[in-house]
Structure 1
Amino acid sequence: MPQKSITKEIKVITDQHILKGQKENGFPVRKWKISLMGINANGEEESLPYVDHVEYILHQSFEQPLRKVTKFPFQLQEKGWGEFDMKIMLHFVDNADSPAMLDHDLNFQLNHYEVEHTLSFRSDIKPSFLKLLNRPVETISDRDSQMSSNDSGIDGKAHKRRKDAILKEKSKRVKADGSSDDDSQGDSSAESGDEWDNEINVHVLAEKFQRLQASDLIEVIKMVKANQTSEMYVREDGEAGEYQIDLRTLGDDLLNQLWQFCNKRLEG
């Protein structure tokens, strides 16, 4: 009886936003980035130790349509005004299996969206690569921490009670339907760069949350609630005493406010 194929789950993560004051061909110029993440059996994000490098095949209007990225999370950064369909080719360690080709729709309907894919590997794959596929890896959620806070200042009740406030970079799968206002086929002037390097690093911000006092966490929650929009992933579970936030959906303005708040509290 033939053995079943081996499958691994991954997702393609897209983040994008408009660059203020920049337009081309009548359309706003947007800054976007794409990264890849593994998903384990528990639905948690994990690294991709079995992927050697990734090639992004962009629209032909780009100056260099083929981009090679060698480090996890295999992030590609660009800017432009047009939506297009791209190819993402995953090359595996030691060329143990044929490259996997993913189709990805780069669109501007949401500032953040994620699309999941299933990779299938031959059952007779070389033992060393099979061991790599089955090797336990550190999950991204290991960065998350659980902290207790006093919520009496939030609900206005006289008595004090303790609850846990979890601020995590929670995975969110979004279905993108409908059409975008930018129905272009490509970007004639997009260029690569490190513009994202000057923005808030959500991983570092999450670590700063872990060092805050309980009273400061209450202020963080208040700030998020005061600035919350429909595009943000924010969920409060009163019974479990949990408050969950996907930091990547908060937007630049709120992230900057939270960053400055954390720095002020931690440096004081």
Structure 2
Amino acid sequence: MVSADIKRTIKLVTEQQTIDKPSGNEGFPMKEWSINIYLLDEAGKEKPASCFTKAVYNLHPSFKNPTQTFHSPPFTCKNEGWGEFDMTIDLYVNEKSGKHTIQHDLNFAKNVYESKHPITFKNPSSSLLQILKETGPVPGEENGRKKDSDKKRKRTTGNVDVERLAEQLIKLNEEELLQVVQMIHDNKTPETYTKNDVEQGEFHVDLYTLPDNLIKMLWDYTSGRTANH
């Protein structure tokens, strides 16, 4: 597979406290609880999870509104109840990339507790890369320093739509992808970011770091083949 994957860590911070309201269940006091969502940077510090456009909490079906959606970081979900339960949280990125679903255990063992979840952004767009740069390195950077501005990188790709090229690469079969990998190895420059993940059987490349002539070669190669798929 040819892609540029970015890995980050999501942190959920859950707070809960007992409130003076009847729960209707003896031995189970009423609780007020809240969950906040953060993105962690390389130092483990909390940053706004602005890479997501919304967070959808799928609560226990006994809630009057079990599906709750929030559109602004830290996507605070606040409710009252007496019971503990497992939930899922759907995180939507700011592009047409579907959703990331994480599991969360709501419990009342501690007043405040945290949980961390690794997340992978597969072949993110240039706009998402810009946001992810705020929390760590992305392909095409060295030691967290930009090699080129996105504007310059966009311009050096000529008339080729790099995001569309990425879509075409995904459609290739295994034999065609091997040919693409060979083309990249034969024509890459020192600025080209590649990573060969042998264990996963994956080859990663940041298309924005490829030289103009290689971008054009890949475009010509994929255009003729994906049209016939």
TM-score per shorter chain, which class? Answer: 0.5 to 0.7
Moved over 4 A (4+): 1-4
Distance 2:23 2:98 in 1: 41
Compute the TM-score of the two structures, normalised by the length of structure 2. Answer: 0.55
Aligned equivalents of 1:136 and 1:14: distance in 2? 22
Instruction: State the one-letter code of the partner of 1:113.
Output: Y
Alignment of 1:36-115 (within 5 A): 36-95=37-96, 97-115=97-115
Q: Aligned residue for 1:166? A: none
Q: CA deviation at 1:22?
A: 2.9
Equivalent residue runs for 1:101-250 within 5 Å: 101-122=101-122, 124-135=123-134
2:25 pairs with 1:25: yes
Paired with 2:23 and 2:58, the residues of 1 have a C-alpha distance of 24
Question: Which stretch shifts more, 66-75 or 4-13?
Answer: 4-13
Q: Which amino acid aligns with 2:22?
A: Q
Amino acid at match of 1:104: H
**Structure number with higher relative contact order (C-alpha < 8 Å, ≥ 6 residues apart):** 2
User: Quick one: which amino acid aligns to residue 31 of structure 1?
Assistant: E
Deviations along 1:102-147, one digit per CA (max 9) or x if unpaired, are: 100000111100000111011x32222222222469xxxxxxxxxx
- Checking the alignment, whether the CA contact within 8 Å between 2:11 and 2:114 is kept in structure 1 is yes
Mapped to 1, the partners of 2:21 and 2:130 lie a distance apart of 51
Shift of 1:76: 0.6
- How many angstroms apart in 1 are the aligned matches of 2:127 and 2:21? 52
Distance in 2 of aligned mates of 1:77 and 1:21: 16
Which structure would you say has the larger Rg? 2
Note the alpha carbon deviations across 1:3-44, whole angstroms, 9 max, x for none: 552111111110001113533211110010011011100111
Cα 1:121/1:60, change in 2 over 3 Å = same
Counterpart residue number, 2:15: 15
Asked if the contact 2:56/2:70 (under 8 Å) is kept, the reply is: yes
Aligned in 2, Cα 1:108/1:51: closer, same or farther, shift over 3 Å?
Answer: same
Q: Secondary structure at the match of 1:134?
A: helix
Gaps of at least 5 residues in structure 2 are 137-229
Equivalent residue of 1:128, what SS? helix
Q: Mark the runs of 5 or more structure 1 residues left unpaired by the alignment.
A: 138-268
Corresponding residue pairs, total: 135
Q: Tell me how far apart the structure 2 counterparts of residues 21 and 76 of structure 1 sit (CA, whole Å).
A: 20
1:98 to 1:44, Cα distance in 2 relative to 1, 3 A:
same
CA RMSD of aligned residues (A): 1.8
Q: Deviations over 1:237-259 (max 9, x none)?
A: xxxxxxxxxxxxxxxxxxxxxxx
1:89 maps to amino acid: D
